[in-house]
Amino acid sequence: MVMQEKSAAVIVAAGNSRRMQGQDKLWTPLAGRITLARTIDIFQSSPVIDSIVLVTHTERLADTHALCEQEPWDKIAAIVPGGAHRQDSVRNGLDALAGLNPSCRWVMIHDGARPFVPSIILEEGLRAAQQHQASIPVVPVKDTIKQVQDGKISATPDRSQLWTVQTPQIFAFPLIHQAHHLSHTQDKATDDATLLEHMGYTVSIFQGSSTNIKITTPEDLIFAEALLTRKRNSSMTTRMGFGYDVHALTEGRPLVLGGVTIPYVYGLSGHSDADTVIHAIVDALLGAAALGDIGMHFPSSDLRWKDQPSSVFLDYTYNLLCEHNWTISNVDTTIVAEQPRLSPYTQAMCTHVATHLHLDPGQVSVKVTTTDRLGFAGRREGIACYAVTLIFEIHS
């Protein structure tokens, strides 16, 4: 596993709030605390952040200094003025960071108007960047997208390949610093990853969060207030679910666990792809919501499911829970297998399951164990999986 180093953060808060009908979104109170302060709080409290550079509008420099003096934010390393465009503001922040810490290795670039980023995103994002040099959080597009030209629909892109981009975007600092200084002649980019794409670099993605909204319009403020109010005033019903699944090992089949194909001489026998990890998770979720079991929804007698990837079961179960107003809190699994060695693949399994259940990466756990050669698993006759999940329903 890649060692979890710390990162600097550049928080960009230099916009003009042109779509806010006269309000300054960064300085508007949200449940009694201004947007910018809520954003800084998250980075100040994160264990993977060691310093913060604030980039603010020139007209707000004095206000920002006054705010930082009255708050217990000891990670604020510099407050610098922004530029004419977001790209210019980010470059100013990176330049300030280079002067403060020439040996800086990692940097997170975040929009100050995103005050609800979960702290786990910072940790998972840094881990992803350490593996790939550049990584950004994304969430799948839920609505159908139409491409319009001259008032008419010209194309309907495949929704399964479309993702909404969020921040923080995390990079190897020398790489993104160079990209911003090579970008003067390029079109103005709306996010930092685009600059690396122009340079020919591949940017990886990791699972973002549906609550990591960016406040852009007055309507977003209403939604943000509702999120905070619901957290304070809502009651909650919670349910726990347990799932178990086992399949026999057989020749001539691929071994698929948690949506990941694993190189091995044997695969699992079953009507679908026999993914015992996903089957156990689906059973746990259905059980928690009292919505039956996997055999009821996906019977082996139904030819629609023959050789199907079990990911379709996850998608179906997620939508079913949403229809019944259930939200998934977390999923925890334990795979029981003597062979092959599965630990190198558990993170990919977590990512796959989280993506299909629309969860943050830290909400899914996949563990592996053996039986010390006891029982069917110990004799390498099959692989089993246990799953536990927690779901909740919020009552206003």
Domain ranges of the chain: 7-232, 235-395
* Rounded Cα–Cα distance for residues 6 and 32 (Å): 31
The percent of residues above 70 in pLDDT, for the chain, comes to 93
**pLDDT confidence of residue 166:** 95
Tell me the two tokens of residue 357.
């259940």
**pLDDT confidence of residue 21:** 56
**pLDDT confidence of residue 53:** 98
**pLDDT confidence of residue 1:** 36
**pLDDT confidence of residue 360:** 74
Q: Indicate the pLDDT class of residue 386, thresholds 50, 70 and 90.
A: very high
Tell me the two tokens of residue 394.
């919020």
85-142 per-position pLDDT tens digit: 899 999 999 999 999 999 999 999 999 999 999 888 999 899 999 999 999 999 888 7
**pLDDT confidence of residue 3:** 41
Buried b (16+ CB within 10 A) or exposed e, 282-317: bbbbbbbbebeebeebbeeeeeebeeeebbbbbeeb
Judged on CB neighbours under 10 Å (0-12, 13-18, 19+), 395 is exposed
Asked if the model's pLDDT at residue 186 lies above 70, the reply is no
Q: Indicate the pLDDT class of residue 49, thresholds 50, 70 and 90.
A: very high
336-354 per-position pLDDT tens digit: 999 999 999 999 999 999 8
Closest CA to 111 of 54, 69, 66: 54
Q: Indicate the pLDDT class of residue 185, thresholds 50, 70 and 90.
A: very low
**To 10 degrees, what angle do helices 276-288 and 311-323 make?**
10
CATH number of 7-232: 3.90.550.10
Asked if the model's pLDDT at residue 396 lies above 70, the reply is no
254-270 per-position pLDDT tens digit: 999 999 999 999 999 98
**pLDDT confidence of residue 299:** 87
Closest CA to 144 of 161, 166, 168: 161
**pLDDT confidence of residue 184:** 56
The percent of residues above 90 in pLDDT, for the chain, comes to 63
Asked if the model's pLDDT at residue 323 lies above 90, the reply is no
**pLDDT confidence of residue 319:** 87
Q: Which fold has domain 235-395?
A: 60s Ribosomal Protein L30; Chain: A; (3.30.1330)
**pLDDT confidence of residue 223:** 79
239-252 per-position pLDDT tens digit: 999 999 999 999 99
- The beta-strand segments (E) located in 297-376 are 327-336, 364-369
**pLDDT confidence of residue 324:** 86
266-287 per-position pLDDT tens digit: 999 988 899 999 999 999 999 9
**pLDDT confidence of residue 2:** 41
**pLDDT confidence of residue 19:** 58
**Does residue 335 or residue 219 have the better pLDDT?**
335
**pLDDT confidence of residue 394:** 62
Q: Which of 199-213, 214-228, 283-297 has the highest mean pLDDT?
A: 283-297
**pLDDT confidence of residue 303:** 83
**pLDDT confidence of residue 278:** 96
Q: Any bridge partners for residue 54, and if so which?
A: 11, 79
